[in-house]
Amino acid sequence: METTFTRRAALGTALAAVGSSALGLAPLNSLRPTARPDPSSERVGGAASVVRAFSLRGQVSCALMDPETGAVLDAYAPEMELPPASVTKALTAAYGLQKLGRDFQFLTSLSLQGRVTNGTLLGDIILTGSADPTLHTDDLVNFAKALQKTGVKAVKGRLLIVDNGFPYLREIDNGQLPQANYNPAIAGVNLNLNRVQFEWARQAGGGYDLTMSAPGRIYRPKIPSIGMRVEERNGPSYGYQHTPEREQWSVQRSALGKDAGRWLPARNPRRYAGEAFQVICAEMGIELPSPTIVQGQHPEAVLAVTIAQKKSPPYHEIAKSMLKLSTNLTAEVIGLTASRAPNLRQSAEALSQFAQAHGMRGAVVDHSGLSDQSRLTAGGLAMFMAWQHRNGLADLLKPKILRHKGKPMAGVDLRVKTGTLNFVSSLSGYLTYQGKSLGFAILTADLAQRGKVKGRENPPGVKGWEARSRSLQYALLREWLGHLR
């Protein structure tokens, strides 16, 4: 059996060989004959002809690897460093598998400390989180029902929201627009992916009824500390001000149309969850005080009696959903939980070190890929996929249909993670045919154009560029299928 040291050396040597051939020093070791590349060109193997045919504006880097042998079968500029976007989540998912395990579960609990006299709790109610990314308003309803069964109708004490020392992030990436709900806060208690529902209804006189709520299946608690006002202005569409006690939004009147709603990020997530629970309890006839945030562990929690718990689904289900829906909050929670680092910078460094130990080249600055400051190589990413092939990552990736002329290609199993930022598009995963699998990575970007439109929603030209990049990526996969037949 091949040792870990030997396998790693083989993979590294293979990629190094591609780097040399990309400079015209030697042809690739491909399963099909390839012409010797021009010494002045970085085009190598079958991928070169596909990239040349598309002439995509910007940069293209790709690599194809055999996980069984470590051989690089095809590549184009494999050492070019580009932003991976949400393909970063594949690294994070593998990291969580190793550090947390398939069956790991997040736990949120509701406890009482004190005694109950004539329906009044003389003490504290404690909601303790572990950063569960699946916590939902309906879970708070279940907690409120458990509290109702104790006979408590009022509290002479505190409602404590305890984060158990989990790092608090006001946002993942400070380069995003304020209304970007995919750039939420992260904390030890996360409700509804830390998104608040903003709804507006036009009044007869031309004004609007505005609500900010945490909707569930039955209850839609309004959140007192998150406000919204309509303003007459030329722009921007949304404005935001933040304090530890209150979040104040404003919206451009012309941005509102008919009655509708949208999710906005909640940047005080622990207060958001605490107020949602407070309002739900009030609707059930239980009066609670406003929430008090406890950073770290509550020193007297050992004296409390747990009356309800919510366990998350097992890790492998959470990771699979995260990869399918590309939820940034879930990725950051997984990474921070797995690393146990005190902040995002150190946690991202730990993820980078893990990935580098398994073939990755470059480094990431978060766990979700939301920042465009991460830089990876397609060669290193394909190598990482090769290493993770037997570790269960393929089972977590989203299945996709590979088509040719609009028709599904029979016998092909494609598992991928996609990534998209403005003028950045990436694709990585496994291409399988008749039981034989190959790991691949494709990174594309027009960094010059991205720099011109940064901070804009849906900038002109981005949809067309992304569509052309996707077409290039799937053309490469069809080309690479020849290595499996």
pLDDT in tens, 382-431: 999 999 998 999 999 999 999 999 999 999 999 999 999 999 999 999 99
Spell out the long-range contacts of 414-419 with Cβ–Cβ below 8 A and sequence spacing 24 or more.
Answer: 414/477, 417/86, 417/87, 417/89, 417/90, 417/323, 418/86, 418/87, 418/326, 419/84, 419/85, 419/86, 419/87, 419/88, 419/89, 419/369
Q: Please say which residue of 290, 312, 334 terminates a domain.
A: 312
Number of domains in the chain: 2
- Count CB neighbours of 198 within 10 A: 21
Half-sphere exposure of 27 (CA within 13 A, CB side): 11
- Whether residue 173 is found in the same domain as residue 280: yes
pLDDT on residue 243: 87
| Sites in the chain below the pLDDT cut of 70 | 1-45, 300-302
- 3-state SS assignment for residue 389: coil
Coil vs helix vs strand at 19: helix
Query: Which domain does 214 fall in, by range?
Result: 106-312
Q: Judge if 273 and 405 occupy the same domain.
A: no
If 0-12 CB within 10 Å is exposed, 13-18 middle and 19+ buried, where does residue 118 land? Answer: exposed
Contact 307, 111 (CB under 8 A): yes
257 and 179 part of one domain: yes
| Residue after which a domain boundary falls, among 279, 312, 345 | 312
CATH code for position 341:
3.40.710.10
Tell me whether residue 408 is exposed, middle or buried, using C-beta atoms within 10 angstroms of its C-beta: 0 to 12, 13 to 18, 19 or more: exposed
Structure-token pair, residue 86: 């949400």
Fill in the amino acid letter for 153: K
Residue 168 has what DSSP assignment?
P
Residue 408 and residue 305 share a domain: no
Buried b (16+ CB within 10 A) or exposed e, 46-72: bbbebbeebebebbbbbbbbbbeebbb
Give the per-residue pLDDT at 458.
84
Say if residue 74 is in the same domain as residue 150.
no
Q: Are strands 260-265 and 195-202 parallel, antiparallel or unpaired?
A: antiparallel
Residues 121 and 28 in one domain: no
End-to-end CA distance of the chain: 27
Based on the fold, state whether residues 190 and 271 are members of the same structural domain: yes
pLDDT at position 45: 53
Q: Are residues 243 and 276 in the same domain?
A: yes
List alpha helices for 397-460, DSSP H: 447-453
Q: Can you tell me the distance from the alpha carbon of 434 to that of 462, in angstroms, rounded to the nearest whole number? A: 37
- Examine the domain organization and report whether 342 and 407 are in the same domain: yes
Find the length of the chain: 485
Q: pLDDT of 215-256, one tens digit each?
A: 999 999 999 999 999 999 998 999 999 988 899 999 999 999
Does residue 339 share a domain with residue 255?
Answer: no
